[in-house]
Amino acid sequence: MGKKLLHRRYVATLLSVGIIFVIWQIFAMVIHSPLILPLPRETLEVLVQDIGRPLFWQHVGATACRSLLAFGIAVVTGTLLGAVTGSSENLHNLLVFPLAILRATPVVSFILLALFWFGTSLVPVFVAVVMSLPVMSGAIESGIKNTNKELIACCRVYGFSRGKMIRHLYFPSCKPYFFSGSLAVFGLSWKVVAAAEVISLPHRSAGTLLQSAKVHLETAQVFAITLVLVVLSFVLESLFSFISP
């Protein structure tokens, strides 16, 4: 059954990719302007050239490292924060407004502010962590608050210690919320890091390549870099989903 499900997902993914390329081809032919929308063939030709350049992978690798670093920091910090706010109503009330501010503030505002505070290489990591923190903390807080109240009462009746309750009750309850929140944080971190790089322009980054291609009106290059980032993100997300329960 598992192999059949994976086969169906594989076929569905290939079909969706094929449909996207067909629609892309049609619109590119109708617009008939490589500056606005290049043909898939033109983009793939640029992509093949990029793949053969070590410098290109240095830029992409730097972006991937920043995204993974931001992801790790956001998951750890958000988990601790969510555990605190989920366990204490007073702390929840104290932190609910600051977290709401983080959710509501536009990404570009954090990017511009961070440019005054950090070096260009740290700006994407900082912004991604700030934007991802409410997502991860909210997931963990939901897991704690949705823990079965009857089981909590039962554990207290039988004198379970705080450590045992966390290990045998809260941890299993929060596990699906943790993986769901982590998956959302990973996708968000990847996008925010790339967006922040376009503005902060670190020495090595995919965002710097995107900005350079945009300045030189190399639309096919923008599409090629974006394709690499999308595929890499999809592969890493798929691996993460595979190990999650």
Q: How far is CA 46 from CA 78, 150, 183, 224, 230, in A?
A: 39, 60, 31, 6, 16
Q: What is the pLDDT of residues 135-149, one digit of tens each?
A: 999 999 888 888 777
Asked which of 37-51, 98-112, 113-127, 149-163 is least confident by mean pLDDT, the reply is 149-163
Give the residue among 211, 151, 210, 139 at the shortest CA–CA distance from 180: 139
pTM: 0.85
Q: What is the pLDDT of residues 143-180, one digit of tens each?
A: 888 877 777 778 777 777 777 777 777 788 888 889 88
Amino acid at 85: T
For residue 168, the 8-state DSSP code is I
Q: Which residues contact 64 (CB under 8 A, 6 or more apart)?
A: 232
Average pLDDT score over residue span 184-204: 90
